[in-house]
Amino acid sequence: MIVALHGVEFFAYHGFYPEEQKLGSRFVVDIEVEFIPANDIAEDDLNNTVNYEQLYEIACEEMKLTKKLIETVAQGIINNIVKQYDFVDVVKLTINKLNPLIGAKTKSSSVTLTYNK
């Protein structure tokens, strides 16, 4: 089973350069969490799955912590998901930084990290 959030938007202050950490940027996060339910999903019980609202909260809290690298931010989100949901088998997470400061018009830069149990 896969539970996912796609296109979650944040404004945050991640970036290697001081001006990025001062001015901030827009980011878009995609999270996919794969697992085998321990109990029958037909029980209609939130405890038998991954709560996508909780995934959002985990991402939101990590996005508030200014980092130089979006790789570090992504790893922090994955670490917290795995801590919250120790039964997950795979977490795939992509962070897109919109309009990065690279000296040319660029839609986004991104990093994708994958955790495999």
Mean pLDDT (whole number) for 9-27: 94
Give this prediction's pTM: 0.93
The pLDDT tens digits of the residues spanning 72-115 come to 999 999 999 999 999 999 999 999 999 887 778 889 999 999 99
Number of domains in the chain: 1
Give the domain extent around 66. Answer: 2-116
- Tell me the two tokens of residue 17: 């350069």
Beta-carbon contacts of 46 under 8 Å, excluding residues fewer than 6 positions away, are none
Positions of E strands within the chain: 2-12, 25-34, 90-98, 108-116
The CATH number given to whatever domain includes residue 8 is 3.30.1130.10
Contact (Cβ atoms closer than 8 angstroms) between residue 91 and residue 79:
no
